[in-house]
Amino acid sequence: MEFILVTPQAQPHVALIQLNRPKELNALNLQLMAELRDALKELDENDEVRAIIITGNERAFAAGADIKQMAGKTAIDMLNVDQFSTWDQIRKTKKPIIAAVSGFALGGGCELAMTCDMIVASETAQFGQPEIKIGVMPGAGGTQRLTKAIGKAKAMEMVLTGKFISADEAEKHGLINRVVPVELYLDGAFKLAADVAQMSPVAAKLAKESVNRSFETHLDEGLHFERKNFYLCFASEDQTEGMNAFVEKRKPEFKGR
C-alpha cells in the first residue's frame, strides 16, 4: 500500500485506515481509492475486526478527487475508467465505519466521510462540495447524501456555491455525530468505535444494513426488511448470550456468531 496505512488491530477489534498523501492533502487518486477498496474488503472479512476508522491527518481528511489526475480527461476516459465504481466497496462494507475528520473534507473527501456510517470531527474540520468552482459537480454521492443529511436548502447552497461549512455547522445540521477538540478527534473516533465493537458484530451488521435500507426504500418495505433482520438475530449465539446476560445480570461476551 503506497497511499494508505492500515492497522487491523489499532485497538481491540478496531481497525484504522489512514489516508497518507499528506503533501497533496490526501487527494483521492485512483490508486489510493483502489487501495482503500482492497483494505476495506480485507478488514470486512477479518473476524477480529468489528469496527473500522478511516482518517486523514490534522490538516486534511481529504481535499477531494485528484484534480491533476482528472484535468486532461475526456468524458469517454471518465466513463471507461469509471473511477467511482471503486467507491462501491465502501458502501458495501458490512462492518460499521467511522470517519475521523480534521481539516479539509472537500469534494470526494466530504463524500468519502458521508459514505462512512458516522463522523467524528475536530473543531478545525471544514466540509464542502466545491466541485462547482472547477466547472464540474459532485460525482461520488455528494448531491444525494448531503441532501439527505442536511436537507435541500443547505445542500443546494453548498453544491451551487462551493462554500464550506464548519464542524459546528455540520453538527448543527446533522451531518456529523460530534465535534471534539483537534487533539482529540482520533480519540473520539476510537471511543465511538470501542462502544460499537463491544456489541454483537452480527447484530451490528444487520442493524447497519437496516438503517442504510431506509435511504433506499419506502417505509413499508423498510419495516419489512428491518423485521426480517431482527428475526435473523435470533439465529445467532450472540442473541442468546445477550439476553441471558441481561437476565443473569452480567456483561455479555459476544463472539460474532
Residues annotated as catalytic (active site), given as ranges:
65, 108, 111, 131
| Residue placing its CB nearer to ligand CAA in the complex, 96 or 107 | 107
Is 81 a binding residue for ligand CAA by CB under 6 A? The answer is no
Do 111 and 131 touch, CB atoms closer than 8 A? no
Return the residue of 117, 119, 122, 138 that touches ligand CAA, per CB under 6 A: 138
Q: How far is the CB of 22 from ligand CAA (least distance, A)?
A: 9
Is 78 a binding residue for ligand CAA by CB under 6 A? The answer is no
* Per-position x/- string for 195-214, each x denoting binding to ligand CAA as judged by CB under 6 A, each - no binding: --------------------
| Residue placing its CB nearer to ligand CAA in the complex, 24 or 58 | 24
Helix 152-161 to helix 142-150 angle (10° resolution) is 140
| Residue placing its CB nearer to ligand CAA in the complex, 18 or 29 | 29
Question: Over the Cα atoms of the chain, what is R_g?
Answer: 19
Nearest to 215 by CA among 146, 157, 167, 156: 146
- Give the SS3 label for residue 61: strand
Q: Whole-angstrom Cα distance, residue 87 to residue 232?
A: 28
Which secondary structure element, helix H or strand E, spans residue 211, and what is its range?
A: helix 201-213
Is 104 a binding residue for ligand CAA by CB under 6 A? The answer is yes
Do 110 and 205 touch, CB atoms closer than 8 A? no
Residue 92 vs residues 13, 86, 180: alpha-carbon distances, Å: 19, 11, 28
Footprint of ligand CAA on 15-54 (CB under 6 A): 24-25, 27
Is 68 a binding residue for ligand CAA by CB under 6 A? The answer is yes
Q: Whole-angstrom Cα distance, residue 134 to residue 43?
A: 35
| Residue placing its CB nearer to ligand CAA in the complex, 35 or 111 | 111
Is 140 a binding residue for ligand CAA by CB under 6 A? The answer is yes
In the complex, the residues that contact ligand CAA under the rule CB under 6 A are 24-25, 27, 63-68, 104, 106-108, 111, 130-131, 134, 138-140, 142
